[in-house]
Every structure is written in C-alpha cells, then in structure tokens.
C-alpha cells in the first residue's frame, strides 16, 4: 500500500511537532510505502535537517509556510513571472469573494449543517484550488490589491460579524498575509498522477493546513483521507493567537477562517482519529460525525520506562516531583502555594521541579518569577548554626546533572504532581504511570480519561485541594504502591507504541477496502463497478511482470466480464499497471515561460550540489538513497535504487 503522509511543521524535520510519532508509525508499518508531503514552519527548521529516514519512505516533497517568495533564495519558486490575466482575475475575485463572505458572515449563518455560509467556504476554497491547479500559484493574487478590496467589501457587507465591521486596511493586509500562508498547499505542485494521485491513502498528521493537500487529493483523484489529531488544530490556533499582537478584527477573521477549514476537513475526511475524548468533543462541536470518529491513543515507548517501573522501588516517600515545560498554563504558582500547605503538615516534604528546556522569553520570565516566589515562601533552612542552609524546593533542568533523563526524575519521586490549568493529552502523566508512580493531577484536558481510577484528581486553581491530595498519598505508602502498580498496568494496556501502530495498521486496511482508489479503465466492468482481483498480487512486487503496453497482466482472464471483449491495447509508451512503473518525473524549469501567463506552482527540483544537498546520495539524517535534501520551497525528493523505477 502506498501512503501519502501529510505533515505540518514536523516529520521528517529534526525539529517540530509529531516527528517522533510519525517516525514510529512509518517504521512500525514497514510493509507499506510512504510518500511524505511536509510543510515547514521556518528557515531554522529546514536548516536543522531531517531525521534518519527508513527505506519505506520512497519520496519526500516539501513546501514552506514561512516568509514570502522574496525571502527565498534566487532560483527557487517554480514557474511564474506574470500576474493573472483578466479572465483569471475575474475568476479569482469570484472564488475568493465566496471564501471571505463565509468567513465574514455572522456566526449563526454557518451553524447548521449544509448552510449557505458553510457551502460558500467550501466552494471558494475548491474554486481557488482549481484555479491554482489550472493556471498556477495563488501567492501574488492573495496579496494583491484585488484581494484586499474583496475582503474590505465582505467586512462591510450587511450581516457581517460585528467584530469585523471596524477592520482597517492594516487589518485586511494582516489577514490576507496569514491566509496566503495557510493556503500555500493549494499552490504546491503535488496534485498530479505521479504525486498524490498515485497514493492509495492520504494520512494527515494534523488537521488544518496539513489536511488541505488531502482534501484536494480526495477531490481530484478520490483518494481516501484519514485525519489524526492529537492536539486539535483549531484549539491550538485559539491558544496561539491569544498571545499574538493582533487586533480584534484580525483575531475574529482568523478564528472564522480556521473554524471553517476545520469544519470542511471533518466533513470530507473518511475517518478521524482523535487522541482522546477531549479532542473528540472539540471535533464534534466543529461538525465531525460521530460515526467517523475513532479514538486512537498516542503510543509511547514503554521499554524506556521498564527499568524504573519494574524495579519495585517506590522512590523517595517524602518527595513530590513535577516534570514539564515551565509556562503559565502549568500553574506552578498554584503548585508552590499548595506545597506551602503541605510543608505545614509534613515539614520533611520536598518538591522537585524538573523543567524541560525553555522555548521562549515568556517562559524564561515565568520561571524566574516562580523561583523568586519559591525563595520567598521557603527560605533556606539549616539544621543548626553550623550547617549549610537548604531550600525544600529545587528547580532542576532536564538533562542536567540531577536529572540526566526523564526516567531519573520519576525514579526519585514518591508522588508525581500535575498542576496544569490547560492541558491536552498529558504525556508526562503517562510517563509517570509507566514508571509505576502514584499521581495527583488537576481535572483538565484528557487527565481523567488517561488515569482512570489509578490516581487522585482535584479541581484546577485550587491549591488547598491539591495539597490535601498530596498529603493523603505521602502519608499512605500502601496506597501509593497500589495506585502506582495499577497506573503502570493501565498505561501498558492503552498507551504503548505497539498498540498505536497496530490500530493504524487495521485502519489503513479498513479504509482501502471501503474506499479503494480506481484509476485504470481496465479495472472496471461494463456496469462501472470495479472488477474483483483486477490487480494481481504481482502488481505490487518490484519487477517487470509484463511487457510494455501489455494489458494482459492488469486483468486476469478469469476475472474479466463474460460479455466484454479483450481489453484495448494500452497507449503507446504506457506502462502496464501490473508493472507499477513510471517514467522519470519531469519539471518545468525555473524561469521557463508560462503558456497561460499565471504564477506557477510553488516548487522546484534541486540538483545535487546546490543548497542543502548532500553528496554521495545521502539525504539529511543520513538516509541512504535520497538524492537531495530539504529546501525552503516546495520540492520533490525521489529515492533511487528501486527495481521498478517507482518513486
């Protein structure tokens, strides 16, 4: 089976989201071929290179969501040069007008299924996709004066959202810039018979922009679409925009755009696999049908925690441990106040805060504030006048001398604490469960779903309740041991990588059996229905099982319809489907004249020896056979050395 894996800011890049899960999935499904279609988020991410790729990754194609065409190196960016002609501009105005009219429309206009606003968003989106496929890229058009005028008219139209009436020219430009980046997958040169048209299934590793390519593959070629969301894209957008320096009208427009995109993705996907019930509720509110939702928990490498979990050592019975990123959503301020109550009852108790590397200046500032509060609440204590003072609260860096690995942090814990006020799927909680540790957590996100009855749960932003739960476990070692053992058993049953890979193996086969992609006319009977066994097993084995132009290998004689005559000969130069061979991929050279006169697709093929290429046929991360490495623009990376020439 050939899978088109769609990612946004993650795999195969060495940094970003979902890279570990995607790598584990690809390696676990070694019998399938994977074509990776990756969107990059920054030049820094591209410069960091790729993770090592397994041999089942046959091709990697990339496109940037960062910067503008002016930011890319000379010689990249695909066809183009001239703007749209009059006919194309008129068509763009109509399609973009439908899209922004739905975005600017009143919220209740798109509430019902199949509403005018919802249909308008889809019609505008697919109209722009058809325009990009037929005439070229949309970057210049979406940043043009025409686009701004269309947006301005939609914001001032009757029935528009109240929050967009006061949008200024600056707001229109800011929104147009963000929408152009979000819609860049429409301009990629991925939608051909040798691209996404050749895959059997599209698997989007997230919703939103990453799933756009899957929507188009389903529209153009009928390829089934599977969408996996371990963090709901729309929820992530809300949380990210909350701290961005954007005006209220821009926030309103962006929220409506991403909400419309999420609704369309959920409507068109053949199956959606949320990572937990919390994510599932978000998806249902955005229009996903329950019949097409199936929870698949994210898997973790359980053997990494086996030594601690099976040791039988319950850790330091006086120590509370918190592990994670130091940021306001984790509510360390509340944890410190709760620990102050714990110290009043148990003076020997200690709190270790093991922090992951800081990602931004705001997190660094928050950590400094927490350290100052800890010093104020817990002055250094000494046993006598000659002893060195010590603080019962310690801030340690994950990877440092006191916690070289996350397992070392959990090994010293009597109780693991999670104090978050905002949480999705609590990965740290699962790690603690795999280590056999009793936990105290706040009731946010998927916490209750994850721990079941194997830990204590308290309301968020309630330091007194958090302190009481911690005291209950610190004073009852037998209860800690029982809860820790139950937690490890639950985690091994539900949250291992093997469970995750096995689930997707079955889902792939189910989707292909329910909605196979039919591309060959000779695989369809006179009634238009697919013929059983029209493609023999040899069709999926590398090698030339039939000569060029031979149609006999495509349909066995016993499977052909009785009334049908022998199939017509294949066109000259065509390869039999049974051989699964393809001609080398051709590209429009950079700077070539555009016969239509529109801007071309965002993408090029880069020869070995240019920017980012690796000599000796090894791509980023040392994967053998990759001809070129990551580019800051859409690109295709064929893998050489396959017997049938299939890429």
Task: Summarize pLDDT for 57-69 with one digit per residue, the tens.
Answer: 999 999 999 877 5
Distance spanning both ends of the chain, measured CA to CA:
13
DSSP lists the bridge partners of residue 300 as 496
In the prediction, which pLDDT does 66 show? 86
CB 201 within 8 A of CB 226: yes
In the prediction, which pLDDT does 152 show? 95
User: What confidence tier does 390 reach under pLDDT thresholds 50, 70, 90?
Assistant: confident
In the prediction, which pLDDT does 167 show? 93
| Tokens read off for 220 | 């153009």
How far out from the chain centre does Cα 123 lie?
25
DSSP lists the bridge partners of residue 38 as 7, 62
Q: Which of 335, 276, 324 minimizes the C-alpha distance to 460?
A: 335
| 477-494 vs 463-474: helix crossing angle, rounded to 10 | 100
CB 196 within 8 A of CB 1: no
pLDDT in tens, 334-351: 999 999 999 999 999 999
If one counts every other C-beta atom within 10 angstroms of the C-beta of residue 530, the result is 13
CB 258 within 8 A of CB 237: yes
CB 392 within 8 A of CB 348: no
302-495 CATH fold: Rossmann fold (3.40.50)
Cα-Cα-Cα-Cα dihedral sign, residues 299, 304, 309, 315 = negative
Domains in the chain: boundaries: 86-173, 302-495
User: What confidence tier does 536 reach under pLDDT thresholds 50, 70, 90?
Assistant: low
Cα-Cα-Cα-Cα dihedral sign, residues 402, 404, 405, 407 = negative
Cα-Cα-Cα-Cα dihedral sign, residues 76, 645, 222, 57 = negative
How far is the C-alpha of 632 from the C-alpha of 446, rounded, in Å? Answer: 36
CB environment 256-284: b (16+ within 10 A), e (fewer): bbbbbbbbbbbbebbbbbbbbebbbebbe
pLDDT in tens, 398-421: 999 989 999 999 999 999 999 999
pLDDT in tens, 231-243: 888 988 888 887 7
pLDDT in tens, 623-643: 444 433 344 444 444 444 444
Q: Which residue has the tokens 């102050």?
A: 340
- My answer on whether omega of the bond before 12 falls inside 30° of 0, hence cis, is yes
User: What confidence tier does 290 reach under pLDDT thresholds 50, 70, 90?
Assistant: very high
Which CA distances in Å does 331 have to 56, 358, 537, 579?
43, 16, 57, 59
Number of residues that make up the chain: 647
User: Does the structure show a pLDDT above 50 at 80?
Assistant: no
User: What confidence tier does 137 reach under pLDDT thresholds 50, 70, 90?
Assistant: low
For residues 201-211, average pLDDT: 95
Q: Which residue has the tokens 């109240």?
A: 162
Which CA distances in Å does 635 have to 76, 96, 326, 567, 585?
9, 26, 37, 38, 12
Q: In what order do the strands lie in the sheet with 271-274?
A: 271-274, 225-229, 201-204, 2-8, 33-40, 57-64, 635-638
How far is the C-alpha of 16 from the C-alpha of 2, rounded, in Å? Answer: 25
């Amino acid at each position: 089976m050939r899978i088109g894996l769609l990612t946004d800011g993650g795999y195969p890049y060495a940094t970003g989201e979902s890279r570990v899960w995607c790598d584990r999935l690809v390696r676990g499904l070694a019998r399938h071929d994977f074509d990776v279609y990756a969107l990059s988020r920054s030049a820094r991410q591209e410069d960091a290179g790729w993770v090592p790729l397994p041999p089942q990754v046959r091709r990697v194609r990339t496109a940037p969501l960062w910067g503008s065409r002016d930011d890319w190196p000379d010689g990249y960016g695909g066809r183009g040069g001239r703007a749209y002609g009059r006919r194309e501009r008129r068509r763009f105005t109509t399609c973009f007008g439908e899209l922004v009219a739905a975005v600017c429309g009143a919220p209740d206009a798109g509430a019902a299924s199949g509403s005018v606003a919802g249909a308008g968003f889809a019609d505008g989106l697919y109209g722009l996709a058809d325009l990009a496929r037929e005439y070229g890229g949309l970057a210049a058009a979406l940043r043009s004066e025409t686009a701004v005028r269309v947006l301005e008219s939609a914001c001032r139209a009757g029935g528009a959202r109240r929050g967009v009436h006061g949008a200024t020219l600056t707001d229109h430009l800011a929104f147009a810039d963000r929408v152009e980046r979000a819609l860049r997958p429409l301009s990629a040169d991925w939608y051909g018979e040798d691209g996404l048209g050749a895959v059997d299934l599209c698997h989007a590793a997230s919703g939103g922009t990453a799933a756009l390519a899957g929507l188009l593959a389903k529209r153009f070629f009928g390829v089934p679409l599977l969408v996996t969301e371990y963090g709901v894209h729309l929820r992530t957008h809300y949380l990210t925009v909350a701290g961005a320096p954007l005006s209220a009208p821009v926030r309103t427009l962006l929220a409506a755009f991403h909400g419309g995109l999420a609704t369309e993705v959920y409507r068109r996907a053949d199956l959606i696999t949320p990572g937990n019930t919390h994510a599932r509720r978000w998806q249902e509110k955005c229009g996903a049908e329950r019949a097409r939702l199936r929870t698949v928990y994210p898997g973790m490498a359980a053997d990494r925690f086996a030594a601690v979990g099976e040791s039988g050592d319950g850790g330091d019975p006086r120590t509370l441990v918190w592990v994670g990123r130091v940021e306001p959503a984790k509510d360390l301020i509340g944890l410190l106040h709760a620990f102050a109550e714990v110290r009043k009852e148990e003076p020997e108790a200690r709190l270790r805060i093991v922090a992951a590397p800081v990602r931004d200046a705001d997190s660094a500032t928050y950590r400094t504030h927490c350290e100052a509060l800890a010093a104020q609440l817990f002055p250094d204590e000494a046993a006598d006048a000659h002893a060195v003072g010590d603080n019962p609260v310690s801030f340690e860096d994950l990877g440092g001398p006191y916690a070289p690995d996350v397992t070392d942090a959990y090994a010293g814990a009597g109780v693991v604490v999670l104090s978050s006020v905002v949480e999705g799927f609590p990965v740290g909680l699962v790690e603690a469960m795999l280590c056999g540790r009793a936990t105290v957590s706040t009731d946010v996100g998927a916490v209750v779903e994850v721990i079941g009855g194997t830990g204590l749960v308290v309301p968020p932003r309630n330091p007194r309740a958090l302190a009481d739960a911690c005291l209950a476990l610190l004073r009852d070692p037998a209860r800690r041991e029982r809860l820790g053992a139950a937690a490890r058993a639950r985690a091994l049953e539900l949250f291992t990588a093997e469970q995750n890979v096995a689930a997707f193996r079955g889902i792939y086969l189910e989707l292909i059996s329910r909605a196979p992609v039919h591309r060959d006319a000779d695989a369809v009977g006179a009634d238009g229905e697919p013929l059983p066994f029209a493609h023999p097993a040899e069709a999926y084995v590398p090698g030339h099982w039939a000569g060029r132009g031979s149609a006999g290998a495509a349909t066995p004689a016993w499977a052909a319809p009785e009334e049908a005559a022998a199939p017509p000969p294949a066109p000259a130069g065509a390869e039999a489907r049974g051989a699964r061979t393809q001609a080398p991929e051709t590209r429009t050279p950079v700077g070539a004249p555009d016969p239509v006169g529109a801007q071309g697709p965002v993408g090029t093929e880069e020869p070995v020896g240019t920017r980012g290429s690796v000599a000796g046929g090894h791509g980023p991360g040392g994967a053998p056979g990759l001809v070129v490495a990551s580019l800051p623009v859409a690109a295709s990376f064929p893998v050489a050395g396959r017997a049938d020439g299939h890429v």
